[in-house]
Amino acid sequence: MSQGLRRLAPQLVTLAAVVALVSAFFPGFLAVEIADGRLVGSAVDVLKRGAPVALLAVGMTLVIATRGIDLSVGAVMAICGAASAWAVSNGLGLGAALALGLGAGLLCGLWNGVLVALFGIQPIVATLILMVAGRGVAQMITEGRILTFSHEGLAFFGAGDVVGVPTPILIWIVTGVAVGLLVRRTALGLLIEAIGINRPASALAGVNARVLLIAVYVASGLCAAIAGIVVAADIRGADANNAGLWLELDAILAVVIGGTSLLGGRFSVAASILGALVIQTIDTGILLAGFPSEFNLVIKAGLVVIILVLQSPRLGPGLPGFGLRAPRAAGVARTEKATE
Amino acid sequence: MKTLMLGAAMAALSTGVSAQTIGFSQIGSESGWRAAETTVTRQEAEARGIDLRFSDAQQRQENQIAAIRSFVAQGVDAILLAPVVATGWDSVLEEAKEAEIPVVLLDRQVDSSEDLYLTAVGSDLVHEGAVAGQWLVDNKPEGACRVVELQGTTGSSPAIDRANGFRQAIEGTPDIEIVRSQTGDFTRSGGKEVMESFLQAEGGGDNICALYAHNDDMALGAIQAIKEAGIDPGDDILIVSIDAVPDIFKAMAEGDANATVELTPNMAGPAFDALAAYMADGTEPEKFIQTESALYTQDDDPMAQYEARKDLGY
């Protein structure tokens, strides 16, 4: 347990620092109250608004651990949200809507997985196809308009609450815990890391890399499907043009802030979720601070650069709690340079 | 021979029964509004007995230039053009001019010389913002009114102009103060997320008297955020926005929104009228025909407005 906490220490410290910074600009940030029987407050908003990126980050972590990347998740969100909205607005039940949404995500994941695992296409290229084409598919489902619905059952997944806690928060917690347990209480996580570190070697050692690779892309597609349903339910409508737009980049950033190397290998689902919360805290903090909107992206970029530099292996070891695993962090620093 | 043909053409025009053929080069269908504009243009043409040749450029200028050349080759009576970009139209517009085919620009402008086209029909974005602002000036509750603003995409011309127009309209009313202004990127989810932060930052919403959104979609997202915070949109917080998409009329019918300013998809109606006058007796229209920015409120039978608009393709 203490080892798990040590792994998460840099992300926890980062999150605390960002929360402290936002609180300095907006003192009531952590205040939570109960209004109309549900939790209300900026911190609750962060946990709720962070749901899409947190969900995407869960799937993205597994993909990145295999040394892959999934650029299509934003478009898959749009497809799945559109499929669910289409189902309820055509009089199908909630069950059918969820099945269609999740089924679409599963198919998208399967498509990516087959391209990567069977045809050996580089993940960035393979998933780029669906990233571009997927939004078109979503637009076909919605016929180019925002598909509005008033189905309370589906809206519950975005705007409802369970004993006062907004549903999206519960959804990402359950998904994160389920996937975390699945990969850490079984050998799955170890096998995924093995593929990411050295696929031929893992194959020689008897790991069925093909099936496992397809499985992680399917998992990513399913996570994107859940995120897409949450986003559509939240606004009671499927907006094919904007749902999940650019969220794949936030999801990758969340994984990187979570300390998982883009070069594959060791990963932590929990750390990626913390990364997603760090990003959302920054986003919400910027909105609360009331700066003119021209500054939004500059402030976000500045904070992200500071966070990544502090986590870098050169600076990290000098700070308590940072850079505990230099080899893994080294990968982060290298990719950072590559994206500059 | 040439005079004979010209004479025949004049005769055909003067009888007024000749079915006109008009080419329409549309940008594409990137937004619901654009789709509605296409639908309305077809309806207007049908009502006037015009044979409309429609060409969808799918966001590409070269497709539009090819379409105009093809219209010229077909010898249409006039061309409607909704230009995807502002530059690069000189040569193809000159070709149309040489063929004596009048061109009317819809919705957007071009950077070419004014004598290359007959007129341009469009909306004045600053005026739209001003109409929204004037509504608030006339309808705000007694005393100070703290307004929050959901802006369009940062740097886009609708966001800049609609912000300026609103400010001009409220300038003479010191009671109205814009206390928070953030971009919601013209999207529903953006409007909802930003409105949640506004509510948090302004005492749970108690300190907000009105919301001004640069488009209806952001307002619709914000309405949900306000409802989820246990506040009554339309009463506790006045909602005024721009575009007049069908869903905002539904919200108005339910008492959740107060007013919207229409960005009319009927750019073709005024264009056909100007063309008819020009062809009948050579009346040169103004170089810019401004469409009306009509204001709709809860008193304008919003449910009927919704029914009238829902099938236009928004």
Report yes or no for ipTM above 0.90.
no
- Domain membership of residue B43 as a residue range: 2-123+265-283
| Among the ranges given (A34-38, A172-176, B149-153), the one the predictor scored with the smallest mean pLDDT | A34-38
Share of chain A above pLDDT 70, in %: 92
Q: Are residues B77 and B31 in the same domain?
A: yes
Interchain contact A250–B (C-beta under 8 A): no
Q: How far is A294 from chain B (nearest CA, A)?
A: 6
One domain for residues B179 and B71: no
Q: What is the pLDDT of residues B251-279, one digit of tens each?
A: 999 999 999 999 999 999 999 999 999 99
Which of the four pLDDT bands, split at 50, 70 and 90, describes residue B66?
very high
Please name which of A276, A297, A289 lies closest in space to residue A47, comparing C-alpha atoms.
Answer: A276
Q: How many degrees, rounded to 5, is the angle at CA A103 between CA A101 and CA A106?
A: 115
Q: Is the pLDDT of residue B2 over 70?
A: no
Whether the predicted pLDDT of B18 surpasses 60: no
Residues B251 and B129 in one domain: yes
Q: Are residues B55 and B109 in the same domain?
A: yes
A41–chain B nearest CA distance, Å: 7
Say if B312 falls within a structural domain: no
Tell me: do B172 and B240 sit in the same domain.
Answer: yes
HSE (side-chain half, CA atoms, 13 Å) at B5: 2
Q: What letter does residue A209 receive in the DSSP assignment?
A: H
Share of chain B above pLDDT 90, in %: 82
Q: pLDDT digits over B84-132, tens only?
A: 988 999 999 999 999 999 999 999 889 999 999 999 999 999 999 999 9
In a domain, B311, yes or no: no
Residues whose CB falls within 8 Å of the CB of residue A90, separated by 6 or more in sequence, listed in order: none
- What confidence tens digit (pLDDT) does each residue in A213-266 have? 999 999 999 999 999 999 999 999 999 989 999 999 999 999 999 999 999 999
CB B215 within 8 A of CB B116: no
Nearest CA in chain B to A155: B224
For residue B158, give the CATH number of its domain.
3.40.50.2300
- Res B17: pLDDT: 42
Q: Which residues of B94-116 are buried (b: 16+ CB within 10 A; e: fewer)?
A: eebbeeebbbbbbbeebebeeeb
Q: What is the 3-state secondary structure (H, E, C) of A58-123?
A: HHHHHHHHCCCCCCCHHHHHHHHHHHHHHHHHCCCCHHHHHHHHHHHHHHHHHHHHHHHHCCCCCH
- The reply to whether A156 touches chain B by the CB within 8 Å rule is no
The answer as to whether B291 is a domain residue is: no
Tens digits of per-residue pLDDT, A64-109? 999 999 999 999 999 999 999 999 999 999 999 999 999 999 999 9
Say whether both B208 and B112 belong to one domain.
no
Residue B228 within any structural domain of the chain: yes
B250 lies in the same domain as B132:
yes
Task: Report the distance separating Cα B81 and Cα B105, nearest Å.
Answer: 5
Note whether B151 and B199 are same-domain residues: yes
Quickly state the pLDDT bin for A38 (edges 50, 70, 90): confident
Comparing A49-63, A84-98, B21-35, B254-268, the range with the smallest average pLDDT is B21-35
Q: Do B247 and A146 touch (CB under 8 A)?
A: yes
Say whether both B142 and B258 belong to one domain: yes
Q: Which residues pair with A39 in a beta bridge?
A: A34
Backbone dihedral angles phi then psi of residue A106, each to the nearest 5 degrees? -60, -45
> Is the predicted pLDDT of residue B1 greater than 50, yes or no?
no
Largest CA distance in chain A: 60
Which chain A residues have a beta carbon less than 8 Å from that of B216? none
Residues 47-76 of A with CB under 8 A from B: 49
What is the residue extent of each domain of chain A? 49-290
Q: Which of A45, A135, A284, A293 to mutate to probe the B interface, most B CBs <10 Å?
A: A293
Is a pLDDT exceeding 50 seen at residue A140?
A: yes
CB atoms within 10 A of CB B31: 20
Whether residues B197 and A41 touch (CB distance < 8 A) is answered with no
Torsion-angle region of residue A236: left (phi > 0), alpha (psi -120 to 50) or beta?
Answer: left
The answer on pLDDT for B8 being more than 60 is no
Query: Is the same domain home to B257 and B269?
Result: no
Identify all chain B residues contacting A287, using CB atoms and an 8 Å cutoff: 182, 193-194, 197-198, 201
Is A150 part of the contact surface with chain B (CB cutoff 8 Å)? no
Residues of B with CB under 8 A from a CB of A: 29-32, 35, 151, 154-155, 180-183, 185, 187-190, 192-194, 196-198, 200-201, 204, 217, 220-221, 224, 228-230, 247, 313-314
Kindly state whether residues B213 and B111 are assigned to the same domain.
Answer: no
| Domain shared by B40 and B155, yes or no | no
Instruction: For residue A127, count CB atoms less than 10 angstroms from its CB and return exposed for 0-12, middle for 13-18, buried for 19 or more.
Output: buried
Total count of domains within chain B: 2
Residue B117, in any domain of the structure: yes
Q: According to the model, what pLDDT value does residue B223 have?
A: 97
pLDDT band at B58 (very low <50, low <70, confident <90, very high): confident
Report whether A278 contacts A54 (CB < 8 A): no
Cα separation, B101 vs B109, in Å, equals: 18
User: According to DSSP H, which parts of A118-151 are helical?
Assistant: 123-142
pLDDT at residue number A247: 97
In chain B, residues with a C-beta closer than 8 Å to the C-beta of A282 are none
Mean pLDDT computed over every residue of chain B:
91
Q: To which H or E segment does residue A16 belong?
A: helix A2-25
Would you place residue B16 in the very low, low, confident or very high pLDDT band (cuts 50, 70, 90)? very low
The answer, for A37 touching chain B at a CB cutoff of 8 Å, is no
- Amino acid in position A54: A
* Residue B91 to residue A216: CA distance in whole angstroms: 54
